Amino acid sequence: MPRIAYVNGKYVRHGDAFVHVEDRGYQFADGVYEVIAVHGGVLVDEQGHLDRLGRSLAELAIAWPMPPKALKVVIGEMVRRNAIRDGFLYLQITRGVAPREHAFPTHAKSSCVMTARRTRPLDINEISRGVAVITIPDIRWKRCDIKAISLLPNCLGKQRAREAGAYEAWLVEAGGLITEGTSTNAWIVTAGGELVTRDTGAAILNGITRQAVMKLAGEEGIALVERPFGVDEAKAASEAFITSTTAFIRPVIRIDGVAIGGGGIGPICGRLIACYADYLFGQRAGP
């Protein structure tokens, strides 16, 4: 069965999916995106992703390419046409095609493309093994709350992580505070057992997985504080972990080579992974 992409109103073979050379996404990174997980054939937190998409579009004054309800139909159709049981749906909206000029075009119509890919089902043992992170300066723009497609600093950071043999790079502001990872939110558990993640604002993306984990932590009675934390505090933490749609929840067992906690998965992270897995399976069962 061929892989299918969606490009501005058409379902096409993935290999034949093209956008115009003067699409503003291509020339200016003038667009936004979402990545939605599919688990057991069900889109995880679809409404949360669409709400965040609406916010990103509004912040950049980009029009919806179609009403959100219609977008949902296309998303569902992409999952169906690609026979995705487990995998990810990528959705990108740009300001559209127009002669290259920095100021907004007056007549462009938003472009919308989607791709989907299958993955192996979530493997709790695999994600529980944990990952290493490095810390690097955060050189991104000052509106990281918008899920914009301008990801060059994130790509450079992730590449530095890969070259250092790490899974992720945590980004550090002037002053030594960690904002988030290049494609994940950052969390620690202090020696006192307090779960900490950066407060929302322009410095981080308010992850959908972050929001789900916050809710689960509340239900579990785990004390949670949304505040900034620094590199030194993170290295001294009893646990650390990352969250994102594609990484799920993964323990961080080394930061810049320093072992965190016992150098393995900690109890709070373990509990949250178990809760998140239940949450995913619950979504899968459907209402």
What is the dihedral sign for C-alpha 203, 46, 123, 271?
positive
Q: Hey, what are 149's tokens?
A: 């497609």
Contact 180, 198 (CB under 8 A): yes
Contact 231, 134 (CB under 8 A): no
Among positions 163-182, residues that touch ligand PMP (CB under 6 A) are: 180
State the minimum distance, in angstroms, from the CB of residue 105 to ligand PMP: 27
- Of the residues 10, 72, 109, 147, only one is catalytic, namely 147
How many of the chain's residues bind ligand PMP (CB under 6 A)? 13
> In terms of CB distance, is 4 or 178 closer to ligand PMP?
178
State the minimum distance, in angstroms, from the CB of residue 207 to ligand PMP: 3
Find the DSSP H helices in the chain: 24-28, 46-59, 68-81, 124-128, 152-163, 208-219, 231-235, 267-285
> In terms of CB distance, is 155 or 191 closer to ligand PMP?
155
SS3 15: helix
Report how far apart, in Å, the C-alpha atoms of 66 and of each of 47, 90, 96 are.
Answer: 16, 17, 13
Pairing type for strands 239-244 and 185-189 reads: antiparallel
> In terms of CB distance, is 56 or 244 closer to ligand PMP?
244
> In terms of CB distance, is 4 or 167 closer to ligand PMP?
167
CA 76-272-182 angle, 5° bins? 65
Among positions 179-198, residues that touch ligand PMP (CB under 6 A) are: 180, 183-185
87 belongs to the binding site for ligand PMP (CB under 6 A): no
* Binding-site member from 244, 252, 255, 265 for ligand PMP (CB under 6 A): 244
Residue length of the chain: 287
State the minimum distance, in angstroms, from the CB of residue 242 to ligand PMP: 9
State the minimum distance, in angstroms, from the CB of residue 35 to ligand PMP: 6
d(CA 85, CA 68): 23
> In terms of CB distance, is 31 or 207 closer to ligand PMP?
207
d(CA 234, CA 42): 35
Instruction: Name the residue with the smallest CB distance to ligand PMP.
Output: 207
Among positions 245-264, residues that touch ligand PMP (CB under 6 A) are: 245
Among positions 196-235, residues that touch ligand PMP (CB under 6 A) are: 205, 207-210
147 is catalytic: yes
Who's near 73: CB < 8 A, 6+ residues apart? none
> In terms of CB distance, is 95 or 210 closer to ligand PMP?
210
CB atoms within 10 A of CB 263: 11
Among positions 13-72, residues that touch ligand PMP (CB under 6 A) are: 35
Question: Which range of residues in 14-22, 160-168, 219-227, 242-250 is near ligand PMP by CB under 6 A?
Answer: 242-250
Contact footprint for ligand PMP (CB under 6 A) = 35, 180, 183-185, 205, 207-210, 243-245
Tell me which residues are annotated as active site: 147
